[in-house]
Amino acid sequence: MSAVELFSTRLVPPQRRHLFWRDVVAETFPGMTVYASEGIRAELARWKLGPVFLARAQSGRAHISRIAQNNERNFVLHLQRRGRLTMIMGDEVVTANAGDIVIADDSRPYAVDISDSNDCLILQMPTEFLRDDLSKQDWHGHILRGDDANVAFMNHILQGLWNQRDMFGEIDEGIGDLLAGTARMLCRRSTRSLKAPATCSPVEFALRHLADPDLGTATICCATGLSPRAVQKAFLRHCGLTPTAFIAERRLVRAADLLALNDGRSITDVALETGFNDAAFFSRCFRRRFETTPSEWRSRAPSPLHDAC
């Protein structure tokens, strides 16, 4: 059993906070890359109990991508305490609000958009803890809503456990079996909800159609039936950006992920796959955003273990 480890950007110079936070998250969750603003305020506390791992992350707005891991397959539950978490798996999008739990399988690639003032408890355990009847099923992107009594029970257990973190050294390691049993109960009673509802939100629609070069406010209005003003308000409320700025940012982050794969796709291929019609314009935008060229980014990026496109 390990002691609680604490990490905070508060004592880090503002101009280096995003780099410090990126390193902390990458070391805690292998394969994760954080894209955050320079002066982000963030804290992470983590605790390991045998094969079970518990963490609490509090941070400002950020985008996180994770490449697939080829070591031990883990089952990762994200319990939203405050704010919103949007998990992106290719063209699939699912959003969790306070009280909800969203599940990830770290043997699969995914990305996460988190809102400002975000607070999340993260429980990670080997998938084999679910036992054969459940461990073979696909739980990637599964969402468990907070208004379900069983989810509320899991919420209560995790938050109660976290509130006793100063006494972790005295807690029996059998707590891991209790957490695994509760996770099995949730999975047995849950229903699949990966697909977005028939009328998805403007932000969800944009995330699912980034590769469309014609994507813009007008396209989103037609797809959702909302007025331009309503669409603008939805984006400002969700992410503090205009639709145009949000689309440009998400395209560039997606392009950075694809370049990191280094799988033979040319710069032009990546540009087209992320909604840019002009490779030269894409390169200028990429350099302005990441302060490096696409080719330099690719050469410096670690090679992923699996394709994440």
Per-residue pLDDT tens digits of the chain, which is 309 residues long? 567 889 999 999 999 999 999 999 999 998 899 998 889 999 999 988 777 888 999 999 888 989 888 777 888 999 998 888 888 887 677 888 888 889 898 888 898 888 888 999 998 888 777 766 666 677 788 888 887 787 888 888 877 777 776 776 666 666 767 777 777 777 776 644 333 444 578 998 898 888 888 899 988 887 787 888 889 999 988 888 999 999 999 999 989 988 888 777 899 989 988 999 889 999 999 999 998 999 999 887 654 433 333
232 and 133, same structural domain?
A: no
Prediction pTM value: 0.66
A 10 A CB-CB count for 167 gives 9
Helix (H) or strand (E) holding 6: strand 5-8
Q: How many domains does the chain have?
A: 2
* Helix (DSSP H) and strand (DSSP E) numbers for the chain: 11, 12
Q: Per the domain annotation, does 227 fall within a domain? A: yes
pLDDT value, residue 171? 67
Assigned domain for 306 exists: no
CATH of the domain at 257: 1.10.10.60
Q: DSSP 3-state assignment of 239?
A: helix
Q: Can you say how many angstroms the Cα of residue 87 is from the centroid of all Cα atoms in its chain? A: 5
Query: Does residue 197 lie within any of the structural domains?
Result: no
d(CA 266, CA 129): 41
Give the pLDDT of residue 163.
76
What local confidence, expressed as pLDDT, does residue 306 receive?
38
Q: Which of the listed residues 141, 158, 189 is the one where a domain comes to its end?
A: 189
What does the pLDDT read at residue 181?
A: 76
What token pair was written down for 50?
């045998």
Burial of 266 (0-12, 13-18, 19+ CB in 10 A): exposed
Asked if residue 92 and residue 59 are part of one domain, the reply reads yes
The runs of H, that is alpha helices, within 196-278 are 202-208, 217-224, 228-239, 243-261, 267-273
Residue 307 has a pLDDT of 36
Structural domain contains residue 48: yes
C-alpha 197: how far from its chain's center? 20
Sign, Cα dihedral of 232, 59, 255, 91: negative
Backbone angles phi, psi at 254, to 5 degrees: -65, -40
Domain that holds residue 102: 5-189
pLDDT at position 28 is 92
Q: Does a structural domain hold residue 308?
A: no
